[in-house]
């Protein structure tokens, strides 16, 4: 089919999938708010997670119907759907989110992403992300915090509250450490030391560790490579993205970094940042190898 026709069909299937599962999730959320009983809330939370997981499987279904893609997905053995994981990934396109869900489904629990605060305004999806307890993060500049010191540490508190809810059901917490999508302009502006990545931000990851570090089984480190260039979401829907490589690695969390005061302990903060830098150096080398081999 012509790319435009493929894109229209994929968009329709995507919209139907969103409406069906979002309606179910938001209905259960309303029931839980009207009947705030702890056992019922826990039960409904599990059912909503099951709905969200089914949503991901249906997405994979229309991928296969509309996208003739050469998938190269490399998954390590031993991942557990009943465990808790912290997932890190490079970030280049909105397509990344769909690929993460597609490649990790059935291997680890449902993915819950750290999201920017402004994304809660996205029609339908913002409400669904809120209903599923995705943590919404609001970043403040140093200049703003100097004028409003009462806002300092708000991200930490938001992360901790979200992670408290994650303790009830096996969850995969996802954080794009770069904080934004990669492009050469951002890379140059940052003066990033990495050839294929922006500088990683360690704070959100450290705060999640301080909240539930002992519960996380390990780090699931995902590297996404687009051999034919970074696609837009519309490119993806039209079937113009012919190839992608997704390399998943399981990495242990050093015991001394599972708990610590990232904000106030300078030694702990330095050690945590160095560990994240090492993860990012390895990822940059992995991307260089994938690029060199087409």
Per-residue pLDDT tens for 214-266?
Answer: 889 999 999 999 999 999 999 999 999 999 999 999 999 999 998 888 888 89
Residue 144: the pLDDT is: 62
State the pLDDT at residue 33: 87
Residue 141: predicted pLDDT: 61
**What is the total count of domains within the chain?**
1
Among the residue ranges 111-120, 184-193, 194-203, 266-275, the one predicted with the least confidence is 111-120
Q: Is residue 53 part of a domain?
A: no
CATH number of the domain residue 197 falls in: 3.40.1130
How much is the average pLDDT of 281-290?
96
The pLDDT, as a whole number, for residue 47 is 95
13 found inside a domain: no
Q: What is the pLDDT of residues 62-115, one digit of tens each?
A: 988 888 888 999 999 999 999 999 999 999 999 999 999 999 999 999 999 888
DSSP letter for each residue of 226-291: -TT-PPPHHHHHTT---EEEEEEEEEPPPGGGSS--TTT-HHHHHHHHHHHHHHHHHHHHHHHHHH
> Do the Cβ atoms of 69 and 237 come closer than 8 Å?
no
Helices 154-166/203-212 angle, 10° precision: 50
CA 267 distance to own-chain centroid: 28
Three-class DSSP category at 219: strand
Residue 245 is predicted with a pLDDT of 96
Q: Tell whether 48 is covered by a domain.
A: no
In a domain, 15, yes or no: no
**How much is the pLDDT for 160?**
72
pLDDT of 205 strictly over 70:
yes
**Interval 152-185: pLDDT, tens:** 666 667 777 777 778 888 999 999 999 899 999 9
pLDDT at 155: 66
Q: Let me know if residue 57 belongs to a domain.
A: no
Average model confidence (pLDDT) for the chain?
A: 89
Residue 145 pLDDT level (bands cut at 50, 70, 90): low
**CA–CA separation, 285 vs 193, rounded Å?**
12
pLDDT at 58 over 80: yes
23 in a structural domain: no
Residue 260 lies in a domain: yes
SS3 call for 58: helix
- From first CA to last CA, the distance across the chain in angstroms is 27
* pLDDT given for residue 230 in this prediction: 94
Is 88 a member of any domain? Answer: yes
> The domain containing residue 159 runs over which residues?
68-292
pLDDT > 90 fraction of the chain, expressed in percent and rounded? 65
pLDDT band at 133 (very low <50, low <70, confident <90, very high): confident
């Amino acid at each position: 089919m012509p790319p435009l026709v493929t894109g229209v069909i994929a968009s329709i299937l995507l919209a139907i999938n969103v409406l069906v599962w979002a309606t179910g999730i938001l209905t259960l959320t309303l029931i839980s708010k009207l009947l705030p009983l702890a056992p019922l809330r826990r039960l409904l939370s599990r059912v909503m997670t099951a709905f969200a997981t089914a949503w991901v499987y249906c997405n994979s279904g229309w991928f296969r119907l509309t996208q003739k893609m050469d998938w190269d997905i490399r998954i390590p053995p031993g991942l557990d759907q009943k465990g808790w994981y912290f997932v890190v990934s490079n970030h280049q396109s909105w397509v990344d989110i769909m690929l993460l869900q597609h490649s990790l489904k059935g291997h680890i629990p449902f993915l819950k992403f750290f999201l920017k605060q402004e994304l809660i305004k996205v029609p339908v999806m913002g409400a669904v992300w809120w209903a599923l307890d995705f943590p919404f993060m609001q970043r403040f500049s140093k200049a703003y915090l100097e004028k409003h010191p009462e806002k300092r540490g708000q991200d930490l508190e938001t992360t901790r509250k979200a992670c408290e809810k994650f303790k009830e059901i096996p969850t995969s917490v996802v954080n794009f450490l770069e904080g934004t999508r990669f492009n050469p302009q951002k890379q140059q502006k940052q003066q990033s030391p990495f050839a294929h990545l922006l500088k990683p931000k360690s704070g959100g990851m450290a705060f999640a560790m301080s909240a539930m570090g002992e519960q996380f089984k390990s780090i699931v480190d995902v590297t996404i490579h687009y051999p034919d260039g970074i696609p837009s979401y519309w490119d993806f829907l039209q079937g113009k993205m012919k190839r992608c490589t997704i390399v998943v690695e399981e990495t242990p969390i050093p015991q001394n970094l599972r708990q610590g005061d990232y904000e106030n302990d300078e030694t702990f903060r330095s050690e945590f940042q160095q560990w994240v830098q090492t993860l990012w150096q390895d990822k940059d080398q992995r991307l260089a190898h994938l690029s060199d081999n087409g």
